[in-house]
Structure 1
Amino acid sequence: MAIAAVRRAEPADVPEITRIQLVTWRTAYAEVLPAEVLAAMDSGETEREWLRAVREGPARVFVATEGDRLVGFCAAGPAPAAELADAEGAVPADADTTILVSALLVEPRWGRRGHGGRLLATAVASFRFEGATRGVTWVPEADDASLAFYHSVRWEPDGTVRTLDAGGRLIRERRLSGDLELTLC
């Protein structure tokens, strides 16, 4: 078996990050997002956005590797107030120590090998050592695999939902929240 690892993303990783995002979304979200939305995803635009994120932040981007293959990635950074607010717009007292995991994807053919857990653990540890105490993420209600993954690390729905318009199809997402002292099962 090849050695698995996680490291900070570098600009040279961006084409693979882009490929993984497009392949994973088109596979894992085929039932969630309209086909025309998935087909219209622009690899050039996606690559430019990831290059900006890797070079400038504010999120930190990490990649998972198995041997010499890049197999997944995670982006996490300080949580914007809008991502933390409740239905009335109130921001929690711990907003300054809360991070947002904005992306966590492992290419489906590399799934169930621990890459997601290693990615999340590495990303949250980088912030925990700087005083962060809690993390949040948004997951489509129809994404049972991601919901199960976050449940396995004890991140649970906090009761907040939002609805996004994806090419005319409404997608409900749940906000999950959890401690940064992860328990990987």
Structure 2
Amino acid sequence: MALFTSSDGAAADVSVRPAVPGDEDAVTRVQVAAWRTVQALGDAVVDLVDTAAVRSRWAEAVSAPPGPGFAVLVALDGPDIVGFAAVAPGQILALEVDPGHRRGGHGSRLLSAAVDRLRSDGAQEVVTWVLQGDGGRERFLGEAGLGPDGTERALAVGMDDDGVRSVVERRWSALL
């Protein structure tokens, strides 16, 4: 846990901890809010998200991970969850910060904690996926030492007037 002083002189408690049952509401809120900022998805796709199903999946991921090496971490600003990361063996499956709390170090703390977790589980490499056109995430990961490794995949994200709409993700990786 770290204690920082804000510009107004007030102490702000910021930290990362493992998610616990009950955190799924905040994790779902952060994820949906973050998805709304991704141009490649668009509000129409995010509007179709079944938040109850997402919340249920996060609850299961927190309370009954599918196996060793899976974990959900949350970033706190005081008592409030403002971001999360989900890891699997060798992978960062998700890392999101509430748009209103970006540029406050939460993403860096989450990434550091996720990498620490991967290392403690024996990983020698970390991989994650970035939506094409997400320049902010590319800059963030690049500054942290990850880079694109040439692998791409297309994901169907919904229907538009011409049929199935897809987005391209690029894999980023780094040795640990």
Question: For the superposition of Structure 1 and Structure 2, which TM-score range results when normalised by the shorter chain?
Answer: 0.7 to 0.9
Structure 1 length-normalised TM: 0.82
Q: Which has the higher strand share?
A: 2
Alignment of 1:107-118 (within 5 A): 107-118=98-109
Residues 34, 166 of structure 1: 8 Å contact kept: no
Which of 38, 48, 56 is matched with 1:40 structurally?
A: 48
TM-score by length of 2: 0.86
Report SS of the residue matched to 1:3. strand
1:42-61 correspondence runs (5 A): 42-58=50-66, 59-61=70-72
- Name the residue aligned to 1:157: 148
| Unaligned runs of at least 5 residues, structure 2 | 1-5, 7-11, 159-163
Alpha-carbon distance between aligned partners in 1 of 2:33 and 2:43, rounded to the nearest angstrom: 13
- Report the alpha carbon displacement of residue 69 of structure 1 after superposing the two structures with TM: 1.2
The residue number in structure 1 matching 2:73 is: 62
- Cα RMSD over matched residues? 1.2
Give 1 or 2: higher helix fraction: 1
SS of 2:23 mapped into structure 1: helix
The aligned residue for residue 170 of structure 2 is 174
Distance 1:162 1:144 in 2: 17
Judge which range, 124-133 or 66-75, deviates more: 124-133
Secondary structure of the 2:49 match is: coil
1:143 and 2:134 equivalent? yes
Q: Secondary structure at the match of 1:12?
A: coil
Residues 111-134 of structure 1: CA deviation (Å, up to 9, x unaligned): 011111111111121221232111
Deviation at 1:165, TM superposition (A): 1.6
Once residues 74 and 130 of structure 1 are traced to their aligned partners in structure 2, the CA distance between those partners, rounded to angstroms, is: 16
Query: Number of aligned pairs?
Result: 158
Taking the aligned partners of 1:128 and 1:152, their CA distance within structure 2 comes to: 19
CA-to-aligned-CA distance 1:120-172 (integer Å, 9 cap, x gap)? 11112122123211100011111111111110111000011111121122211
| Secondary structure at 2:40 match in 1 | coil
In 1, distance between residues paired with 2:75 and 2:152?
29
> In the aligned structure 1, how far is the partner of 2:174 from the partner of 2:81?
27
Structure 1 residue runs of 4+, over 2 Å off? none
